[in-house]
Copies of this chain bind each other. A is one copy, B any other.
């Protein structure tokens, strides 16, 4: 029979699976000899058994009895003993901290008799009755599902009757009255008396913790966070200590370093004569932890010593809860603490200096997401600023612009060159164009999964959402801050998507020092560099040495290529050629599309050739010596033509006026001919190359000529020719043969050898499923994870982010958008199939990824483990990918 109950002395911090996070750390502290109130933990296995069978496992209760008896012996009092009662707390504690689960019931063991014992023990009747009412209140709310307002209202009623405003003024009699009122509430709501038997109180609380695993909010949270449903929670039963036994008592939280900056020192808060929930409910003000030295120097000294011990033991920032009961310090909880991005880097750096951790460990203490946060531009902290209010930090960055209150105005003003911030109560798909036009988005309703938040993150656009304290009045086109300050349409505001703050007027934006470091503007050895830059530099050096994955960038211009190189890119993994078909070349592309004969088509292509060649010369120059993967034209041709509805309206309106515009008519015909119901699933990529004669060979010729020119100029161009949207090897076979022929021809003309790899994107499920065949005609694969995500899931990014992602995140269908972080079970499985079968067919095939996931931390780790050779991402994301590639390879 398994062991279901562990005394704190029997566990340790590595038993989180069995004892939950809280229980494991309580055990660890106990074994370190720290003053932890004695107690025991009921395992997650007991919970699993209960959830599966509807009853607790055989033997569990006997084990509890045994541990309780030991606890009673140790404490010299018994649970519910009238004259000298032992009181305990019952707390949930799963492997992962989980909102929505029942958390705590304190003071178990009190009843009409033992309350007198407690009064005697403590010499404080008021304290005893306060403790009793707290038990009934917490038990009623969390174990018996009685609405909390009923209890709160009763307290308010008493205070009103007494004409007082603070709980501190309540007397023992008041609490006695409240106990009676609370018991009446329980009787009314549950149709039975509040259980007086302390063992029954504990029993019910334990089962309630077990049951809370399946509370709707907990289920939703697990679905959202992809936490397995069968883990269960542990239950911690701990002897009570009291911070509310007078001014020589208190409670507090402490951090071994500043979780905001990472600086060493003493951080935290302390509240005299209080229990934990008094701190949380915010009705009384805490003092900074340092002040405790003055209040209770002995306990403070002990605490400082314990904090040092804990940090050295956990070798990381610790987050601590403690209580002082009549001058005696007790540790109630510890865990490795959360921290900001800057703190993470600084702390890792400091722990390295202290020789507490190795470099391999240090890289596990920082994440790519944190590095990305450090790279966003921010508002100048030294500049004066007037804060209007605060909302949720939905999509990071700093944006400044004129407040506008509808999409129409956003579009109109942005077209005339203004920066605008779109302010809406909440957004819906109608606002999409306005969101695109705006520099930032501000809403007063909706959380981090709201439409505004999801769409903005998808666009990489700064967004503050759910700023409920701001009254956004779209009808009157104005915004009212809690201060009463009114912002009219056209007034400038600044929004901080990283902090969620909203400011009046223009706050100056500064680029991040970390970016300036990556750009080479700050030398980490110089005075300019602060300790954060030096910490980043140290970590980056290490991850560059450790990582197996190469990191390339997606770049389409010489400028982007140069920037990517500065950011540490080892080549270009995706050079899109469609951008080269825009701007003043649009007319040439129109000629190509409207061509009636092959001759006209040929002429249009011939006119594009020298322009394309010049594009490539610049890029090969910027990336001299490094590989540049050029993707042949991918988007449908009609993307280069006007919108069908706009044009139809123009033509129809003109006709209704009796006018006729020949060119518009001709264009409209072409638009109709090329119109597709689902352009994403239409004539694009290699299909274009096979249907429009000469298009791809023109592009290959431009690449070949550019490379030849660079070679003649003494350069070392390394183009790689990439065919997009291949679904079957036959497509590749035909284009590859044509391309090889062009390379041969141009090579002969220039008298140089042009032996460049030809490969394909793997961006359709079929390409992945037939990768073995395709590899026989491809020297490299580049996974196009955006398209692959679209086809594997059957939804297009544009359409679904606007229409149903937010609902899906809310309902927990998604934990995170699969366009943000790679869907490993679906898309990832196809990638693994393609890697395995591609390598089997061609052992020296080069494998990379050039979708936007190339810069997503979790995805990079997957690409490492899937055995790819490189990832490619936007230049700005290159450092993030380098870091995550190093983290993936590190062996702490």
Residues of A bordering B, CB below 8 Å: 223, 428-430, 644-645, 648-649, 652-653, 656-657, 669, 672-674, 676-683, 687, 690-691, 725, 727-728, 730-731, 734, 763-766, 769-770, 773, 787, 790-796, 798-800, 803-804, 807-808, 811-814, 823, 825-827, 829-830
Query: Which of B653, B727, B787, B830 sits near A765, CB closer than 8 Å?
Result: B830
Contact of A812 with B730 in the complex, beta carbons under 8 Å: yes
Report if A764-B792 is in contact (Cβ < 8 Å); known contacts: A645-B645, A649-B652: yes
A769 contact set on B, CB distance < 8 A: 792, 825-826, 829-830
The CA of A769 and the CA of B792, in the complex, are separated in Å by 9
Residues in B whose Cβ lies below 8 Å from that of A799: 676-679, 681-683
- Is there an interface contact between A678 and B796, defined as CB atoms closer than 8 Å? yes
A734 CA / B812 CA spacing, docked (Å): 10
Q: Is the CB of A804 within 8 A of B690?
A: yes
Q: Which residues of B contact A827 (CB under 8 A)?
A: 766
With a cutoff of 8 Å between Cβ atoms, the chain B residues found around residue A763 in the complex are: 794
Bound-complex Cα distance A361 to B731 (A):
39
Contact of A825 among B770, B796, B800, B807 (CB under 8 A): B770
**Which chain B positions have C-beta within 8 A of A727?**
792-795, 826
- If A652-B649, A678-B679 touch, whether A691 touches B807 (CB-CB below 8 Å) is yes
Q: How far is the CA of A343 from the CA of B637 in the complex (A)?
A: 49
Number of copies: 2
A766: B residues at CB distance < 8 A: 792-794, 823, 825-827
Q: A656-B657, A677-B799 in contact; A683/B804 too (CB < 8 A)? A: yes
**Alpha-carbon distance A223/B777, docked complex (angstroms):** 15
Contacts of A804 in B (CB 8 A): 683, 687, 690-691
Closest 8 CB pairs between A and B? A766-B826, A681-B796, A682-B799, A764-B794, A678-B678, A765-B765, A678-B796, A730-B813
Min distance, Cβ A768 to any Cβ of chain B, angstroms: 9
How many Å lie between the Cα of A677 and that of B687 in the bound state? Answer: 20
| Complex-state Cα separation, A793 to B725, whole angstroms | 9
B807 close to A690 (CB less than 8 A): yes
A725 touches B803 (CB 8 A): no
A690 contacts B764, C-beta separation under 8 Å: no
A813 in contact with B428 (CB, 8 Å): no
Q: How far apart are the CA atoms of A730 and B652 in the complex, in Å?
A: 47
Can you name 8 extra interface pairs (CB under 8 A) apart from A653-B653, A679-B799, A769-B826? A429-B674, A649-B652, A682-B803, A687-B800, A690-B804, A734-B813, A769-B825, A791-B791
Which residues of B are found within 8 Å of A823, using beta-carbon distances? 766
Q: Report how far A641 CA is from B343 CA in the complex, Å.
A: 54
Whole-angstrom CA separation of A442 from B790 in the bound complex: 39
Which chain B residues lie closer than 8 Å to A734 at the CB level? 811, 813
Check B683–A681 contact: CB distance below 8 A.
no
A813 to chain B, nearest CB (A): 4
Determine if B690 and A813 form an interchain contact, defined as CB atoms under 8 angstroms apart.
Answer: yes
Are B790 and A691 neighbours in the complex by a CB distance under 8 Å?
A: no
- Return A677 CB to nearest CB of chain B, in Å: 5
Q: Which of B682, B765, B794, B795 contacts A800 (CB 8 A)?
A: B682
Cα-based distance from A782 to B417 in the complex (angstroms): 54
With beta carbons under 8 angstroms apart, the residue of B223, B648, B673, B811 that contacts A429 is B673
Nearest chain-B residue to A682 (Cβ)? B799
Closest residue on chain B to residue A815 by CB atoms: B730
Q: Which residues of chain B are near A765, meaning CB under 8 Å?
A: 765, 791-792, 794, 826, 830
Nearest CB to that of A650 among chain B residues? B652
> Inside 8 A of A680's CB, which chain B residues have their CB?
677-678, 681, 794
Q: List 27 A-B contacts (CB under 8 A).
A: A429-B673, A430-B673, A648-B648, A656-B657, A676-B796, A677-B680, A678-B678, A678-B681, A678-B796, A681-B795, A681-B799, A682-B796, A682-B799, A683-B800, A687-B804, A690-B808, A727-B792, A727-B793, A727-B794, A727-B795, A728-B826, A734-B813, A763-B794, A764-B792, A766-B825, A766-B827, A770-B825
C-alpha spacing A730/B823, complex, angstroms: 14
Q: Which residues of B contact A672 (CB under 8 A)?
A: 430
Known A652-B653, A683-B803; contact A793-B813, beta-carbon cutoff 8 A: no
Q: Are B657 and A803 in contact (CB under 8 A)?
A: no
> Smallest CB–CB gap between A369 and chain B, Å?
24
Complex CA distance for A125 and B769, rounded to whole angstroms: 65
Decide if B813 touches A728 in the complex (CB within 8 Å).
yes
Nearest chain B CB to A503 CB, angstrom units: 33
Selected contact of A223 from candidates B656, B730, B825, CB within 8 Å: B730
A681 to chain B: which residues have CB within 8 Å? 678, 680-681, 790, 794-796, 799-800
> Smallest CB-CB separation from A766: which chain B residue?
B826
Interface core residue of A644, A672, A796, A799 (most chain B CB under 10 Å):
A799
Q: Output the residue of A669, A679, A681, A790 with the most chain B CB within 10 A.
A: A681
Cα-based distance from A770 to B430 in the complex (angstroms):
34
Cβ–Cβ < 8 Å partners of A811 in chain B:
690, 730, 734
Chain B: which residue is nearest A428 at the CB level?
B673
Q: Which residues of B contact A731 (CB under 8 A)?
A: 813
Query: Does B428 lie within 8 Å of A725, measured CB to CB?
Result: no
* B791→A787 contact, CB < 8 A: no
**Which residues of B lie under 8 Å from residue A653 when comparing CB positions?**
652-653, 656
State A799–B684 Cα separation when bound (angstroms): 11
A773 to B645, CA, bound (A): 43
